[in-house]
Amino acid sequence: MNTQAALPNWAYAYGGPQSEGIIRKAPDDFIVNEIQSFELSGVGEHAFLLIEKCGENTEFVARALARFAGVRQRDVSYAGLKDRHARTTQWFSVWLPGKPDPDWAELNSDSIKILQAKRHSRKLKRGSLAGNQFILCIQEWQGDKAVLEQQLQAIKEQGVPNYFGEQRFGRSGNNIARALALFAGEKISRNQRGMYLSAARSYLFNHIVSARVADKSWNHAMAGDALMFDDSHSFFQAEVLDESIVQRVAQLELHPTAVLWGKGESQVSGEIALLEQKTIQQFDDLAQGLIAFGLEQDRRALRSHVKELQWNFIDDNCLELSFSLNAGCYATAVLREIVRV
């Protein structure tokens, strides 16, 4: 495998970006608000904190909480990682059995602000969020507004290909090269190993998504597809497509899926199984490496439902976008369809 071409230009659903601009010119140009998936009870051993951060990553805040509360770092939990170069709000939990809350307000600084504090009976687990809300400003935007609005309207109605974002693969796709080194026997620390395995699996997934975008089957079901519900990770195989399934896919209630590669039997059949097999075979070193490390097959939606999408020009060259995505979906998958950055 040629790691020099580790990040190809995966297929676009709407003709590719016809405009350009700058994202993250300032942290307030990229705002992310976590959407919680459950209600807090108000009682229990776990202190839940809603924190706004700017210029710091999630792990930095977790370490700061552990030091401040006098607990082990593993006693601090969060649902997902949020970018450093953005203004983000997310929940953390701190295990404080038999202890009162410290004065959390003492943690407030230029980069960290405590917005809420409430108790709950269980810790916050990874992935325990409904999704994320994004408010993005694209500065120095240039392009054809009519074309942009056509693309945005199509995205609102049909969603976008659910690519993993480039940040998953490291600078210049280096995480793929590191995964290959891992599979070749190089010793790599345990905490980095998981990152490289995830990158390798995401890379294969993106290639399958790209193949289905290219053959225009990414946003509708085909016989043999495994279809995932929009509001969960549950899926089922559709050997026969009835009108109800076709309609629910069109309404973004169900999504076709692609394999997250690993050991195990395929969950699709027919032409879809052949397409996935053909794509995986192009990257046999990655595929066999993932199996050797014991990863099991799973499925991920091919399509990301871009909810509550709105757009507005603050002035002639500043485009503001707001939308929500399900957990695990990337805002960059939306941006790549409309703007070169």
Q: Which residues participate in catalysis according to the annotation?
A: 83
What is the Cα–Cα distance from 92 to 47, expressed in whole angstroms? 8
User: Residue 274 belongs to what H/E stretch?
Assistant: helix 270-281
Half-sphere exposure of 70 (CA within 13 A, CB side): 7
What is the Cα–Cα distance from 209 to 336, expressed in whole angstroms? 14
Q: E-assigned strands of 30-154?
A: 30-36, 46-54, 76-78, 87-95, 112-120, 129-142
* Cβ contact 270:225 at 8 Å: no
* Cβ contact 52:87 at 8 Å: yes
Measured over the CA atoms of residue 37, residue 41, residue 45 and residue 46, the dihedral's sign is: positive
